[in-house]
């Protein structure tokens, strides 16, 4: 491991993902220089949270960081790795690095993938639709990406696995703090053929703001985001907006007009922020310009 990679690991552990300031500075100057600027206090006054970051760096032990990753049975992905998911480079704030766990070859499959997101408390209609869409996608050898949460996320992951497909869960917590706890068995199953991805160290807990930060990764990794049942104000709508900002396809499944669970989907469709889709054939027609029967 070279000095630039060691510097990148230290910055990854000290800086919360999603900061455009830090992403741009690292891209422009490299990790060694940025690390030196923080430690010597040479950064401008507008550098966000620089004192907090400097404090974190001062408490670090590189060997302990590497040991933490090894104990979680995960591995680092760096932007200069051959299998780095280059899709995330389209973000205004691409990740400094990523941690991954599971089948590394699955990263290649993510180059042809769809995200399925939605309510944590879906109706039977939402569960059926999410399952059908995920099953249809992997049947055409596309991978499924979601956030590993209860509800629509879990349904999409499970349906992909049942059809021997590849699925990726992007977590808002570290691998040693798997969240939600009730899905730990699902995460282990995903690792057998697919992959888990996280933008935080293994011991980091899930916090509300980290769910919003990870949503941009879900949007970037996939070629299109399908929203299945979302409330009028929902984190899934944030994922849809993140996808739209980097020119990814956004698709929404309509539901009963009386169902609060579908109000977010109807909002996206009404605002023309998403394409209305009712089948996996509709999805492929939009995403690949091919009418897949």
Q: For the segment 105-115, what is each residue's pLDDT rounded down to a tens digit?
A: 999 999 999 99
Q: For the segment 219-238, what is each residue's pLDDT rounded down to a tens digit?
A: 999 999 999 999 888 888 98
Express as a percent the part of the chain with pLDDT over 90.
91
Q: How many CB atoms lie within 10 A of CB 101?
A: 23
Distance CA 159, CA 141 (A): 13
Q: For the segment 149-170, what is each residue's pLDDT rounded down to a tens digit?
A: 999 999 999 999 999 999 999 9
Distance CA 254, CA 277 (A): 7
Residue 293 pLDDT exceeds 80: no
Residue 1 pLDDT exceeds 90: no
Q: What is the pTM of this model?
A: 0.94
Residue 120 pLDDT exceeds 80: yes
Residue 46, Cβ density class (10 Å: 0-12 exposed, 13-18 middle, ≥19 buried): exposed
User: What is the average pLDDT value for the chain, to the nearest integer?
Assistant: 95
Could you give the domains of the chain?
3-60 (no CATH), 106-287 (3.40.50.450)
> Can you give the pLDDT at residue 292?
45
């Amino acid at each position: 491991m070279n000095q630039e990679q060691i510097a990148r690991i230290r910055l990854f552990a000290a800086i919360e993902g999603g900061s455009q300031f830090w992403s741009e500075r690292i891209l422009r100057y490299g990790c060694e220089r940025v690390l030196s600027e923080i430690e010597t206090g040479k950064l401008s006054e507008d550098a966000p949270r620089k004192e907090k970051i400097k404090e974190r760096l001062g408490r670090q032990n590189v060997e302990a960081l590497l040991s933490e990753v090894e104990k979680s049975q995960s591995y680092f992905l760096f932007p200069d790795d051959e299998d780095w998911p280059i899709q995330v480079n389209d973000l205004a704030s691409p990740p400094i690095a990523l941690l991954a766990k599971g089948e590394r070859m699955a990263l290649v499959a993510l180059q042809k993938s769809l995200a399925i997101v939605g309510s944590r408390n879906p109706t039977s209609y939402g569960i059926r639709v999410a399952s059908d869409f995920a099953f249809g996608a992997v049947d055409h050898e596309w991978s499924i990406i979601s956030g590993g949460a209860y509800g629509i996320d879990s349904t999409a992951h499970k349906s992909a696995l049942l059809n021997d497909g590849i699925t990726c869960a992007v977590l808002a917590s570290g691998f040693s703090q798997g969240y939600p706890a009730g899905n730990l068995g699902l995460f282990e199953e995903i690792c057998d053929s697919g992959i888990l991805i996280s933008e935080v160290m293994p011991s980091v807990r899930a916090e509300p703001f980290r769910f919003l930060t990870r949503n941009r990764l879900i949007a970037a990794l996939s070629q299109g985001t399908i929203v299945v049942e979302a409330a009028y104000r929902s984190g899934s709508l944030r994922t849809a907006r993140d996808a739209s900002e980097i020119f990814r396809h956004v698709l929404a499944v309509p539901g009963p007009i009386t169902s609060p669970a579908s109000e977010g989907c109807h909002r996206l469709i009404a605002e023309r922020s998403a394409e209305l889709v009712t089948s996996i054939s509709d999805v492929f027609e939009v995403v690949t310009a091919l009418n897949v029967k």
